[in-house]
């Protein structure tokens, strides 16, 4: 058994050296987090990593997202295992007008709005626990055959359920981003369709009895004939996908929508459409990308605007209805403009940094930011009024002085195994809501309970570099849904040419592939599934991810000549245990009165401390992160 397994691992290429695999994996990091985390006041002389030559986190591979080293101090604070040495925290003697906790889009936007109001001389410090700024807006950069290829490590698109507000659109515009114009100039060029590549489904033998990749649309008889589904299941899929049957006869559109909002899509399929239960696994994960849970935990009404089958005979009036989730309701009403940079919304974060710290991000246009190489040692310089300090986890934020005094807010943070205390007139917490009760135990109990309610959605964006994409070409696919596999979707990196950046367009060139996993546990409430998934992510080692990736790609693509041991050249696992902001779920959450929802209670200002982040909007989108930053700054400075 042992020998057979090692032979299999060798054939997958597990022993091979790929680009800079992390030495500390998820398990080791979790063990670190579980034990006491001593933090000492100590040697101040060592240069911070971001100031060292060659520091460039976008180029790191291995375990990224919540990478080892980014969360241990926060978890030790949560677990009460955080030890302080007898020595007091270092006081570098710095005073700021504003300290921002969290260097994601919301934190960077808060700094931008504050500076716009107070003036360019406003002294601002942004702290973030990761080794790179941007929060979820992270960039993964690969050097493949001498060429840089880019992909997003987290948030991808300027694409939201609602039109961007005047504030959010105004910020984009000030940064030089005109999403509508950019979409026209740089929209995808149809490279994959021109090569005959389309979508397919991978049926795995553990779920469906046989490994089979089938190209085409679920509704077509030719597609169904090639699947390992039973005859009955094929018939039921075809009926579900194509027949305009009204499964709620006698009800008005509004009554149907009300009914659909109270039943999961899974139960709708089983109880009203009456599909054979063997059909369910084919659809179970269709909702993973949008919600991070399967169809057991998303209402039938919420999946309707996304074009899932079974509604074509119901004749529902277009548009949103009461009891829809934020995402579904917004997209039912049309959504926002759509555009993405090659590195996703990391380009927005880079443009924000360019505007906050002159000289930090070379170039001057929205096009040249894509290929700019940032000098990270420019981010935290004494001579700059705005500074970004990475690898710095805030552990305590308190009200320590009167009114608008310079010492009104006191922030203690850990960095390089040391504790530091810094003071400011104001503080914006642009970090995750769930962390705030640990940071600010002084907050009222009701506010802390509300902040804890907002359990973020865990998910993983795995980016894999391949020597070429000849196997995809041979099989005629560019995007594959994988209803039973470890990663539930696999797709070639969308083509995005902007400025001097060019995506690969020939199948014999290297390429990046995106695989998505959303760990969830069907049958539980959405928030419980997220809690379980988060635990899973933090205890899964990079080696486990790597084996699953190689095994899945090998099984899906070997008929096209793919060899995981030879064709995979690098892997980056962007792990986000605290991913999308929680948006209430009509199946599990009460219908809150205005002002009574947890995010509204949770984001209340507390003296010199205001609260931003997309969590404060209960909406997992860039525009929400920007709007909340603006609100938080307005609360501190008044309009
Ligand atoms: C995988 C993924 C894909 C997404 N795709 C899209 C998309 O396509 N379009 C879209 O609009 N939105 C998308 N989102 C949603 C995304 O969360 C928001 O758009 C937005 O980027 C959130 O920004 P934020 O600043 O509010 O939060 P974050 O980006 O989470 O930033 C908060 C920062 O605070 C830091 N922090 C937390 N605690 C502390 C502490 N104690 N001390 C210091 N720092 C701390 C965090 O580590 C983080 O870096 C996606 C999210 C994920 C995870």
- Nearest Cα residue to 174 out of 226, 109, 123: 109
Largest interatomic CA distance in the chain: 76
Q: How many Cβ atoms from other residues are within 10 Å of residue 88's Cβ? A: 10
Using a 6 Å cutoff on CB, does residue 427 contact ligand 1?
Answer: no
Name residue, tokens 């041991």: 565
Report CA(135)–ligand 1 centroid distance (Å).
5
What is the Cα 132 distance to its own chain's centre? Answer: 15
Q: pLDDT, tens digit, for every residue of 197-212?
A: 999 999 999 999 999 9
> H or E element: which one contains 242?
helix 231-242
Say how far apart CA 151 and CA 199 lie, in whole Å.
20
- Half-sphere exposure for 166 (CA within 13 Å, toward CB): 0
Ligand 1, atom 35: closest residue by C-alpha: 102
- Nearest Cα residue to 41 out of 390, 389, 415, 407: 415
The closest-lying atom of ligand 1 relative to the alpha carbon of residue 340 is 8
Ligand 1, atom 26: closest residue by C-alpha: 613
Q: Considering only CA atoms, give the Rg of the chain.
A: 25
The closest-lying atom of ligand 1 relative to the alpha carbon of residue 612 is 26
| C-alpha triplet 574, 578, 580: angle, nearest 5° | 90
Report CA(627)–ligand 1 centroid distance (Å).
14
Q: Is the distance from CB of 14 to CB of 52 less than 8 angstroms?
A: no
| pTM of the shown model | 0.95
Window from 27-36, 42-51, 248-257 with minimum mean pLDDT? 27-36
- Nearest Cα residue to 429 out of 631, 578, 169, 574: 631
Taking phi over 0 as left and psi of -120 to 50 as alpha, with beta for the rest, 499 belongs to: left
- Is 43 a residue whose pLDDT tops 90? no
Name residue, tokens 């058994």: 1
Residues in the chain: 639
Q: Is the distance from CB of 389 to CB of 414 less than 8 angstroms?
A: no
Using a 6 Å cutoff on CB, does residue 576 contact ligand 1?
Answer: yes
Using a 6 Å cutoff on CB, does residue 435 contact ligand 1?
Answer: yes
Please tell me whether residue 193 adopts helix, strand or coil conformation.
helix
Q: pLDDT, tens digit, for every residue of 358-411?
A: 999 999 999 999 999 999 999 999 999 999 999 999 999 999 866 666 679 999
DSSP string, 158-174: B--SSPPPHHHHHHHHH
Q: pLDDT, tens digit, for every residue of 396-446?
A: 999 986 666 667 999 999 999 889 999 999 999 999 999 999 999 999 999
* pLDDT computed for residue 171 by the predictor: 98
Q: Is the distance from CB of 197 to CB of 375 less than 8 angstroms?
A: no
Say how far apart CA 245 and CA 250 lie, in whole Å.
13
Average pLDDT over residues 52-58: 97
Helices vs. strands in the chain: H and E counts, helices first: 25, 19
CA-based torsion, 168, 174, 176, 181: positive or negative: positive
Confidence of residue 80 (pLDDT cuts 50, 70, 90): confident
- Is 44 a residue whose pLDDT tops 60? no
Using a 6 Å cutoff on CB, does residue 488 contact ligand 1?
Answer: no
The closest-lying atom of ligand 1 relative to the alpha carbon of residue 66 is 47
Using a 6 Å cutoff on CB, does residue 106 contact ligand 1?
Answer: yes
Using a 6 Å cutoff on CB, does residue 159 contact ligand 1?
Answer: yes
Say how far apart CA 459 and CA 479 lie, in whole Å.
19
Reading the block at residue 156, the tokens are 């991808």
CA-based torsion, 263, 264, 270, 272: positive or negative: positive
Q: Is the distance from CB of 48 to CB of 416 less than 8 angstroms?
A: yes
The closest-lying atom of ligand 1 relative to the alpha carbon of residue 431 is 34
Using a 6 Å cutoff on CB, does residue 431 contact ligand 1?
Answer: yes
Query: What percent of the chain stands above pLDDT 90?
Result: 87
Q: How far is CA 346 from CA 153, 176, 440, in A?
A: 9, 15, 29
* pLDDT computed for residue 29 by the predictor: 36
Query: In sequence order, what are the residues at sequence separation of 6 or more whose Cβ sits closer than 8 angstroms to the Cβ of residue 398?
Result: 409, 410, 440, 442
The closest-lying atom of ligand 1 relative to the alpha carbon of residue 157 is 8
Using a 6 Å cutoff on CB, does residue 613 contact ligand 1?
Answer: yes
Say how far apart CA 115 and CA 113 lie, in whole Å.
5
Pocket test residue of 102, 420, 633 for ligand 1, highest count of atoms within 8 A of CB: 102
Q: Give the residues across from 387 on adjacent strands.
A: 125
E strands in 218-318: none
Report CA(173)–ligand 1 centroid distance (Å).
21
- Is 38 a residue whose pLDDT tops 70? no
Using a 6 Å cutoff on CB, does residue 341 contact ligand 1?
Answer: no
Query: In sequence order, what are the residues at sequence separation of 6 or more whose Cβ sits closer than 8 angstroms to the Cβ of residue 267?
Result: 300
Using a 6 Å cutoff on CB, does residue 133 contact ligand 1?
Answer: no
Q: Is the distance from CB of 346 to CB of 139 less than 8 angstroms?
A: yes
Using a 6 Å cutoff on CB, does residue 517 contact ligand 1?
Answer: no
Pocket test residue of 431, 456, 462 for ligand 1, highest count of atoms within 8 A of CB: 431
Say how far apart CA 406 and CA 391 lie, in whole Å.
25
Report CA(136)–ligand 1 centroid distance (Å).
4
Confidence of residue 15 (pLDDT cuts 50, 70, 90): low
Pocket test residue of 104, 107, 164, 619 for ligand 1, highest count of atoms within 8 A of CB: 104
- Nearest Cα residue to 530 out of 588, 573, 483, 570: 588
Q: How many Cβ atoms from other residues are within 10 Å of residue 206's Cβ? A: 8
Ligand 1, atom 41: closest residue by C-alpha: 394
Using a 6 Å cutoff on CB, does residue 157 contact ligand 1?
Answer: yes
Q: Is the distance from CB of 450 to CB of 599 less than 8 angstroms?
A: yes
Report CA(566)–ligand 1 centroid distance (Å).
35
Using a 6 Å cutoff on CB, does residue 128 contact ligand 1?
Answer: yes
Find the distance separating the first CA and the last CA of the chain, reported in whole Å: 70
- Is 233 a residue whose pLDDT tops 80? yes
Ligand 1, atom 1: closest residue by C-alpha: 154
Please tell me whether residue 142 adopts helix, strand or coil conformation.
strand
3-state SS string over 390-414?
CCEEEEEEEECCCCCCCCCEEEEEE
Average pLDDT over residues 536-560: 97
Report CA(294)–ligand 1 centroid distance (Å).
22
* pLDDT computed for residue 185 by the predictor: 86
Q: Please, is 137 exposed, middle or buried when counting C-beta atoms within 10 Å of its C-beta (0-12, 13-18, 19+)?
A: buried
Q: pLDDT, tens digit, for every residue of 568-592?
A: 999 999 999 999 999 999 999 999 9
Q: Is the distance from CB of 144 to CB of 571 less than 8 angstroms?
A: no
């Amino acid at each position: 058994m042992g020998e057979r397994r090692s032979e299999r691992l060798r054939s997958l290429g597990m022993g091979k050296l790929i680009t800079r695999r992390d030495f500390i994996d998820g398990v080791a990091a979790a063990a670190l987090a579980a034990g006491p985390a001593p933090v000492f006041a100590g040697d101040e002389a060592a240069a911070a990593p971001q100031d060292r030559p060659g520091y460039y986190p976008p180029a790191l591979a291995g375990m990224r997202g919540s990478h080892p080293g980014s969360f241990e101090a926060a978890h030790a604070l949560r677990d009460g295992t955080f030890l302080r040495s007898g020595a007091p925290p270092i006081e570098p003697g710095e005073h700021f007008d504003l300290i921002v906790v969290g260097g994601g889009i919301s934190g960077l936007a808060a700094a931008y709005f504050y500076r716009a109001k107070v003036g360019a001389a406003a002294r601002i410090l942004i702290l973030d626990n990761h080794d790179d700024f941007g929060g979820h807006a992270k960039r993964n950069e690969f050097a493949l055959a001498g060429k840089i290829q880019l992909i997003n490590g987290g948030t991808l698109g300027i694409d939201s359920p609602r039109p961007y507000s005047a504030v959010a659109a105004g910020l984009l515009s000030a940064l030089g981003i005109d999403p509508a114009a950019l979409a026209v100039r740089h929209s995808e060029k149809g490279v994959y369709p021109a090569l005959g590549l389309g979508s397919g489904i991978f049926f795995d033998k553990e779920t469906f009895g046989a490994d089979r990749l089938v190209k085409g649309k679920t509704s077509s008889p030719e597609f169904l004939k090639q699947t390992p589904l039973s005859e009955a299941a094929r018939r039921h899929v075809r009926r579900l996908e194509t027949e305009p049957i009204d499964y709620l006869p006698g009800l008005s559109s509004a009554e149907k929508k009300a009914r659909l909002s109270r039943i999961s899509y899974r139960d709708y399929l089983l109880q009203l459409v009456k599909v054979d239960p063997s059909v369910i696994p084919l659809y179970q994960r269709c909702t993973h990308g949008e919600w991070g849970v399967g169809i057991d935990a998303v209402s039938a009404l919420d999946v309707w605007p996304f074009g899932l089958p079974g509604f074509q005979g119901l004749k529902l009036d277009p548009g949103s209805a009461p009891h829809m989730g934020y995402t579904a309701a917004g997209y039912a009403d049309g959504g926002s403009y759509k555009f993405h940079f090659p590195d996703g919304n990391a380009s927005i974060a880079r443009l924000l940094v360019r505007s906050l710290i002159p000289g930090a991000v070379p170039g001057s246009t929205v096009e040249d930011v894509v290929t700019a190489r940032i000098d990270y040692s420019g981010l935290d310089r004494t001579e700059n009024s705005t500074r970004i300090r990475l690898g710095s986890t805030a552990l305590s934020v308190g009200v320590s002085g009167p009114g608008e005094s310079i010492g009104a807010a006191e922030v203690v943070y850990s960095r390089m195994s040391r504790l530091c205390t810094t003071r400011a007139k104001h503080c914006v917490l642009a970090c995750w809501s769930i962390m705030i009760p640990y940071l600010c135990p002084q907050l009222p109990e009701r506010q802390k309970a509300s902040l804890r309610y907002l359990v973020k959605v865990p998910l993983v964006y795995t980016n894999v570099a391949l020597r070429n994409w000849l196997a995809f070409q041979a099989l005629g696919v560019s995007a594959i849904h994988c209803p039973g596999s470890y990663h539930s979707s696999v797709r070639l990196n969308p083509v995005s040419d902007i400025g001097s950046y060019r995506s690969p367009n020939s199948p014999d060139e290297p390429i990046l592939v995106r695989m998505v996993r959303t760990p969830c546990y069907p049958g539980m409430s959405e928030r419980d599934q997220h809690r379980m998934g988060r635990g899973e992510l933090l205890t899964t080692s990079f080696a486990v991810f790597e084996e699953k990736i190689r095994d899945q790609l090998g099984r899906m693509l070997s008929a096209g000549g793919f060899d995981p041991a030879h064709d995979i050249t690098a892997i980056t696992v962007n792990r986000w245990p605290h991913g999308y902001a929680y948006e209430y779920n009509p199946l599990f959450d009460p219908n809150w009165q205005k002002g009574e929802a947890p995010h509204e209670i949770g984001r209340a200002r507390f003296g010199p401390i205001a609260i931003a982040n997309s969590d404060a909007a209960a909406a997992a989108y860039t525009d929400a992160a920007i709007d909340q930053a603006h609100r938080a700054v307005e609360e501190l400075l008044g309009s």
